[in-house]
Amino acid sequence: MAAPIRVLTAVPICDGHDSAINTINLEFIRHGIEVVYLGYHRYATDMVRAAIQEDVKALGISSYNGGHVEFFSEVARLLKKQGADYIKVFGGGGGTITGNDDVIMRKNGIDKIFFAGTSLADMVDYVHKHYGGTHKPFRGRKPSADMQLARKLTEIEDRYAGKKGKRPTSNVQRSTSKGRQGSKKTGTRVFGFTGPGGAGKTTLIDELVLRLLHREPKARIAILSHDPSVVGAGALLGDRATMINSQNERVFMRSMATRGQAGGLSPATEDCLMLLAQSGFDYVIIETVGTGQEAMPFQTGLVHKTVLVMNPDYGSRLQLQKIVMLDLADIVVVNKSDQERARTATSEIGSRLDQNKRSQILVSTVANRHRDAGVDELCDLLTEDRRL
């Protein structure tokens, strides 16, 4: 796939719904745009941090609660303050944003306001016309570390665009044993999370990040989160929308689309991982797309430990026999273990793992429960070698 336009969309704090922006997101995706969706009730600082880390061309804000002049202007001000005003700000708010508001907002650095009645086609055309093309070089003062890292990740992804599976020449240092060997040299611990959609991988990772931040006050964490590209179109990269604890200055998160590759990862994942390992992160967490029975995303030695996250409601015991990752995962997590069928599921999965005659560990978690003991156990298992 050719390198698509990437934009970030979000809804401001005190605005508790996202029906309008979701409609626009889907239209953008249908026309080949990759949309990083941050979700609703988001602070200006969250939007700016995410836009910089994702290295998007533009940031789209949907606001229906008033206060748009101040909020949009604050986002533009923060981008300019960080030297990231190459990221344009656009948005709309139905009938809440007036023509007079637009005049003020444009003076404050807002690129475009779409008024009530603007067609979806006109919005798509504007994005393609004004936010396409190559990334603009950094201007003025030296870019921040996040800006430089984000741009390097974009360059890696773009080198794969249109290569049809061929690995392009990269400036990223490679090692013969790929990601695991490279991360060993730097001391970076790499964890791979996979499992079916809806199992709670993102929430579990977010809770894990919270514990790592508290336990290691100087640790830096990177997240590579994957979502599928729609065939012949763009992608909805929505994992940031459920990340709460990961909105932290010590966390760098990058959303990646699969861009035509099967198996749950992007063609550029391995090179992006190597760059993150060389950039001094203590931990890198890779989250695959929601995978099925056949997916084996970490077979190339990409990670130190593989975590398979499952729902209690996977079907019959026969289904367990067909899940390949149960043979390969280092740790299997039964998330949502407060559900009615969880005890039976844990027993059946445990019996399935016993057949493998490997040192695999089974953990039960409720990721959305405050201070869940199962998530504590998972964090201990993943970091035990660093605590010795």
Q: Write down the mean pLDDT value for the chain.
A: 91
CATH of domain 176-386: 3.40.50.300
pLDDT of residue 301: 83
Model pLDDT for residues 129-163, shown as the tens digit of each residue:
999 988 878 887 899 999 999 999 999 999 998 65
| 232, burial (CB in 10 Å: exposed 0-12, middle 13-18, buried 19+) | exposed
pLDDT of residue 166: 55
- Every domain of the chain with CATH number 3.40.50.300 lies at 176-386
Please give the Cα distance from 141 to 135 (Å, whole number). 17
Model pLDDT for residues 274-306, shown as the tens digit of each residue:
999 999 999 999 999 988 776 778 877 899 999
At the topology level, CATH places domain 6-131 in Rossmann fold (3.40.50)
- Mean pLDDT in residue range 331-344: 96
pLDDT of residue 2: 67
How much is the pTM?
A: 0.93
Helices (H), the chain: 19-30, 44-54, 68-81, 99-107, 120-131, 145-160, 178-186, 201-215, 269-278, 317-321, 325-328, 342-354, 373-383
Of the candidate ranges 70-79, 105-114, 254-263, the one whose mean pLDDT is the lowest: 254-263
pLDDT band at 338 (very low <50, low <70, confident <90, very high): very high
Q: How many CB atoms lie within 10 A of CB 380?
A: 13
- Mean pLDDT in residue range 114-124: 96
The 8-class DSSP code of residue 136 comes to: P
Characterize the bridge pairing of strands 283-287 and 221-227. parallel
Each residue of 287-316: b (16+ CB within 10 Å) or e? bbbbbeeebebbeeebbbbbbbbbbbebee
pLDDT of residue 171: 46
- Mean pLDDT in residue range 9-21: 89
pLDDT of residue 388: 47
Q: Report residue 76 as tokens.
A: 């533009």
Q: What is the rounded radius of gyration, in angstroms, for the C-alpha atoms of the chain? A: 21
pLDDT of residue 177: 45
- Every domain of the chain with CATH number 3.40.50.280 lies at 6-131
Q: Report residue 114 as tokens.
A: 């779409």
**Please, what is the angle between helix 68-81 and helix 99-107, to 10°?**
20
